[in-house]
Amino acid sequence: QVQLVESGGGLVQAGGSLRLSCAASGSTYRIDVIGWYRQAPGKQRELVATISSGGRTNYADSLKGRFTISRDNAKNTVYLQMNSLKPEDTAVYYCYAHTQRTVLAREADYWGQGTQVTVSS
């Protein structure tokens, strides 16, 4: 089992920056991919960015260049640095983790509770 807790959301003006954090606990050694998704009102949840255990990153094309994902393995924490924020970035941001299957556990997806990011114009 993996638990994910986000923090850092809030209200920011367009053009501003925000840094989200996601602290993972539990069977963190099984995580092979961790990152962020977001869901705006009336929209489906969409990929923001992920980072693999090997350090490979994946971004939504529309966000590449403005958002940066990173991780601190010692702290089991992943970050999302969001710059040049736009009103359309307003959404609930969810931390996500995928765990590999092992001899003792199935692969699984885990989600945090979400943190609200609101960008005002």
Task: Report the pLDDT value the prediction gives residue 73, as an integer from 0 to 100.
Answer: 86
Give the tokens for residue 19.
């840094």
Q: Rounded to whole angstroms, what are the CA distances from 106 to 14, 22, 30, 97, 102? A: 42, 23, 10, 14, 6
Task: Give me the tens of pLDDT residue by residue for the chain, a chain 121 residues long.
Answer: 999 999 999 999 999 999 999 999 999 989 999 999 999 999 999 999 999 999 999 999 999 899 999 999 889 999 999 999 999 999 999 999 999 988 888 999 999 999 999 999 9
DSSP 86-102: -GGG-EEEEEEEEE---
